[in-house]
């Protein structure tokens, strides 16, 4: 096999995967075509990367290495790297097999996941795998294998305690900061909850974005273990640790395609939970207009799938179908949601957030044996009302490097503000979840922690013309203007009178 020794030219750009650039003459000598894999070898390390060819970015005899490759091989300008063509991974054949609708063996699925983690698949091959999952689906045996291999190819959290509980919401509802209430309630009852969460992808804030307002969420696996051992719980960003890393890579492809294969959703959630050692898991499935799962029958089917998958994987799973037709609470955006969460822990939270959080916490308390069957929510309410959950949250914040004495009024909210009013009198008949998210993101959330919005009224509320119905917050004037423009173009709150439509029997005049 032909090999070339090339001098490194680091390129200061992140690509999200291992990519290098060859000069066209070197590529021709190797027999390389654009997008082919190459093996890169130094005296100490060998990796596989995707290579492209150019006549401008590098000279003949040079190898352009983007940030990921430069760091993986510990390279600097002028270092020498041996480059050769890499064979096509065997997992590509398994991907083609799934594209035809055939069932994959555990070994075939394992090969795909290992190649994903090793960055051995091209963007085209990754896309083919995700599309095949979406169109052809997977059987239960395949999903079980997919989940197990996703766990096995990453790190795991080993805790010397049982039971270990976890909760996950499939999302899709603005303002869903339930975890900042549920986790301290459950931990205050003496149970263990190592909660790792994601940042927002399409919403105004993910759990990690909200918690980051109060404390550090970028924690190592050792730090997570120490915190959980000391205070019983953590609220950390899952992206900072290698828990089921194939999932994070696959999600990037799903996001680009705008698809979320059901089989991958099941494996994604369960692999993350198994990786932190959870043996009692609660899945929250918000359902309603504008949520990920709009029909209750579909939600029930998904709940049953999670329960069956848990049974096959040897863990106890319960599912809760919750109302997701409008935002949870009134605040959307990292700082605004953190403020509302602290207010709730102090006894001043909105009814929808209190109800959802205590309902979910109650199920977890029963799962963990800290509450008698049927008395979970009552126990959760008692823990919340007594202030024990608030005290536990202060302990979690302090353990994660935050200020345990922080008060809701201490949290910085964007100083640029606009209040939108009702264009007519009537009743709030609908709140559009996606429009709420779009406005919050236009205002700068979640990157700008102080950006977001507050909804001042919910469905069914009587409203007078000119009455405030929405407050938008931003840290920058231009962002505020952008959010206002979207809110006016696509009103997030629908207001109607009692007369919805007028029909007439009079003949039409032609």
Domain holding 120: CATH number? 1.20.970.10
Residue 32 — pLDDT band, cuts 50, 70, 90?
A: confident
Number of residues in the chain: 510
* Percent of the chain surpassing pLDDT 90: 85
Which residues touch 74 (CB under 8 Å, ≥6 apart)? 42, 44, 45
Question: Per-residue confidence at 201, pLDDT binned at 50, 70, 90?
Answer: confident
How far apart CA 115 and CA 89 sit, in angstroms, is: 7
Same domain? 377 vs 462: no
- Asked whether the bond before 249 is cis by omega within 30 degrees of 0, the reply is no
* Torsion sign, CA atoms 132, 136, 142, 143: positive
Q: Are residues 169 and 305 in the same domain?
A: yes
- Phi first, then psi: what are they for 137, rounded to 5°? 70, 180
Residue 160, in any domain of the structure: no
Phi–psi pair at 452, nearest 5 degrees: 150, -155
Give the pLDDT score at 381. 98
pLDDT at 256: 84
464 part of the active site: no
Select from 85, 114, 147 the last residue of a domain.
Answer: 85
Which pLDDT value is given to residue 260? 86
User: What confidence category does residue 1 fall into, taking pLDDT thresholds of 50, 70 and 90?
Assistant: confident
Terminal-to-terminal C-alpha distance of the chain: 81
Residue 503: inside a domain, yes or no? no
Residue 437 — pLDDT band, cuts 50, 70, 90?
very high
- CA–CA dist 493, 428 (Å, integer): 7
Q: What angle do CA 198, 199, 200 make, to 5 degrees?
A: 120
| Residue 494, Ramachandran bin (φ over 0: left; ψ between -120 and 50: alpha; else beta) | beta
Residue 144 belongs to some domain of the structure: no
Please check whether residues 296 and 423 belong to one and the same domain.
no
Instruction: Tell whether 266 and 130 lie within a shared domain.
Output: no
CA-closest candidate to residue 422, choices 390, 447, 457:
457
Tokens of 483: 């959010």
Q: Backbone dihedral region of 61: left (phi > 0), alpha (psi from -120 to 50 degrees) or beta? A: left
pLDDT band, very low/low/confident/very high, at 339 (cuts 50, 70, 90) = very high
- Quick one: 234 exposed, middle or buried, by C-beta within 10 A (0-12, 13-18, 19+)? buried
Q: What is the pLDDT of residues 316-331, one digit of tens each?
A: 999 999 999 999 999 9
- Catalytic position from the list 141, 155, 260, 481: 260
Could you give the 3-state DSSP secondary structure of residue 47? strand
Residue 35 to residue 380: CA distance in whole angstroms: 55
CA 376/CA 314 separation, integer angstroms: 24
Looking at residue 446, the DSSP 8-state letter turns out to be T
Which tokens hold the place of 4? 């070339």
Task: Please tell me whether residues 211 and 321 are part of one structural domain.
Answer: yes
Mean pLDDT value across the chain: 94
**Residue 86, helix vs strand vs coil:** coil
Cross-sheet strand order for the sheet of 165-169: 165-169, 280-287, 316-323
18, 100: one domain: no
- What pLDDT score was predicted for residue 45? 93
DSSP lists the bridge partners of residue 493 as: 431
* Euclidean distance between CA atoms 312 and 464, whole angstroms: 54
Residue 492 CA, distance from chain mean position: 23
| Burial tier of 4 (Cβ tally within 10 Å: 0-12, 13-18, 19+) | middle
Q: How confident is the model at residue 112 (pLDDT cuts 50, 70, 90)?
A: very high
Which whole number is the average pLDDT over 126-130?
95
Residue 186 has pLDDT above 60, yes or no: yes
**Whether pLDDT at 508 is above 60:** no
Ordered strands of the 416-421 beta sheet: 331-332, 452-455, 468-474, 416-421
Pair 281, 301 in one domain: yes
The DSSP bridge pattern shows strands 193-197 and 62-65 to be unpaired
Please check whether residues 208 and 341 belong to one and the same domain: yes
Does the pLDDT value for residue 24 go beyond 60?
yes
Q: What is the 3-state secondary structure (H, E, C) of 226-282?
A: HHHHHHCEEEEEHHHCCCCHHHHHHHHHHHHHCCCCHHHHHHHHHHHHHHCCCCEEE
What's the pLDDT score for residue 315? 96
204 and 326 together in one domain: yes
CATH code of the domain in which 463 resides? 3.90.1170.30
pLDDT of residue 292: 86
What pLDDT, in 10s, does the model give residues 59-85?
Answer: 999 999 999 999 999 999 999 999 999
Choose the weakest-confidence range: 230-239, 350-359, 418-427, 501-510.
501-510
CATH number for the domain spanning 304: value is 3.40.1030.10
Secondary structure (3-state) at 462 = strand
* Whether pLDDT at 501 is above 80: no
Asked, for residue 508, whether it belongs to a domain, the answer is: no
Each residue of 354-399: pLDDT tens digit? 999 999 999 999 999 999 999 999 999 999 999 999 999 999 999 9
Asked whether the CA dihedral 194, 195, 199, 204 is positive or negative, the reply is: negative
Which pLDDT band, with edges at 50, 70 and 90, does 119 fall under?
Answer: confident
Same domain, 427 and 450: yes
- Predicted pLDDT of residue 73: 95
The rounded distance, in Å, linking the Cα atoms of 330 and 349 is 10
Q: Residue 308 sits in which domain range?
A: 165-408
Binned at pLDDT 50, 70 and 90, residue 290 comes out as confident
Q: Are residues 447 and 310 in the same domain?
A: no
In a domain, 194, yes or no: yes
- Structurally, how many domains does the chain consist of? 4
Please identify, among 373, 391, 408, the residue that sits at the C-terminal boundary of a domain. 408
Report pLDDT digits (tens) over 451-489.
999 999 999 999 999 999 999 999 999 999 999 999 999
The average pLDDT across 165-188 equals 95
Helix (DSSP H) and strand (DSSP E) numbers for the chain: 18, 18
Q: Does the pLDDT of residue 498 top 80, yes or no?
A: no
* Residue recorded with tokens 């898991």: 281
Domain annotation covers residue 340: yes
Shared domain for 71 and 103, answered yes or no, is: no
Q: What is the pLDDT of residues 297-309, one digit of tens each?
A: 999 999 999 999 9
CA dist 90 → 59, 110, 113, 120, 132 (Å): 33, 11, 12, 10, 17
Helix H or strand E segment including 293: none
In a domain? residue 147:
no
Percent of the chain with pLDDT over 70: 98
Determine, yes or no, domain membership for 240.
yes
Domain boundary among 373, 408, 443: 408
Using 50, 70 and 90 to split pLDDT, how confident is the model at 506? Answer: low
């Amino acid at each position: 096999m032909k090999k070339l020794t090339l001098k490194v030219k680091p390129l200061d750009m992140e690509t999200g995967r291992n990519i290098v650039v060859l000069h066209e003459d070197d590529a021709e000598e190797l027999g390389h075509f654009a997008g082919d894999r190459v093996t890169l070898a130094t005296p100490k390390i060998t990796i596989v990367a995707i290579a492209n060819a150019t006549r401008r970015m590098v000279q003949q005899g040079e190898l352009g290495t983007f940030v990921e490759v430069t760091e993986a091989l510990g390279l600097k300008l002028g270092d020498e790297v041996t480059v050769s063509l890499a064979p096509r991974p065997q997992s590509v054949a398994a991907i083609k097999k799934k594209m035809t609708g055939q069932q994959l063996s555990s070994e075939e699925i394992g090969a795909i996941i290992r190649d994903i983690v090793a960055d051995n698949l091209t963007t085209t091959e990754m896309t083919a795998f995700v599309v095949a999952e979406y169109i052809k689906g997977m059987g239960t045996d395949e999903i079980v294998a997919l989940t197990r291999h996703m766990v096995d190819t990453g790190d795991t959290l080993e805790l010397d305690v049982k039971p270990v509980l976890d909760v996950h919401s499939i999302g899709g509802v603005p303002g869903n900061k339930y975890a900042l209430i549920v986790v301290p309630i459950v931990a205050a009852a003496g149970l263990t909850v190592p909660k790792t969460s994601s940042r927002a992808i399409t919403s105004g804030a993910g759990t990690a974005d909200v918690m980051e307002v109060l404390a550090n969420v970028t924690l190592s696996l050792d730090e997570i273990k120490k915190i959980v051992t000391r205070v019983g719980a953590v609220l950390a960003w899952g992206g900072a640790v290698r828990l089921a890393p194939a999932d994070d890579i696959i999600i990037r492809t799903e996001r680009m395609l705008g698809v979320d294969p059901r089989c991958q959703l099941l494996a994604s959630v369960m692999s993350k939970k198994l990786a932190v050692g959870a043996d009692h898991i609660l899945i929250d499935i918000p359902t309603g207009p504008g949520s990920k799962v709009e029909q209750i029958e579909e939600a029930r089917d998904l709940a049953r799938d999670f329960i069956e998958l848990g049974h096959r994987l040897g863990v106890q799973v319960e599912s809760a179908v919750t109302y997701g037709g409008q935002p949870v609470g009134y605040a959307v955006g990292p700082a605004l949601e953190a403020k509302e969460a602290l207010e709730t822990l102090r006894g001043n939270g909105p009814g929808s957030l209190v109800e959802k959080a205590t309902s979910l916490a109650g199920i977890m308390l029963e799962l963990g044996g800290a509450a008698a069957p049927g008395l979970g929510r009552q126990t959760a309410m008692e823990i919340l009302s007594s202030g024990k959950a608030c005290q536990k949250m202060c302990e979690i914040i302090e353990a994660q490097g935050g200020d345990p004495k922080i008060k809701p009024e201490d949290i910085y909210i964007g100083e640029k503000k606009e209040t939108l009013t009702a264009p007519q009198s009537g009743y709030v008949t609908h709140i559009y979840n996606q429009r709420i998210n779009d406005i919050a993101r236009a205002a700068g959330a979640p990157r700008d922690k102080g950006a977001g919005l507050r909804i001042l009224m919910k469905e069914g509320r009587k409203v007078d013309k000119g009455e405030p119905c929405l407050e938008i917050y931003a840290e920058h004037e231009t962002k505020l203007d952008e959010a206002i423009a979207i809110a006016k173009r696509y009103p997030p709150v629908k207001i109607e009178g009692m007369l919805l439509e007028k029909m007439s029997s009079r003949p039409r005049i032609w």
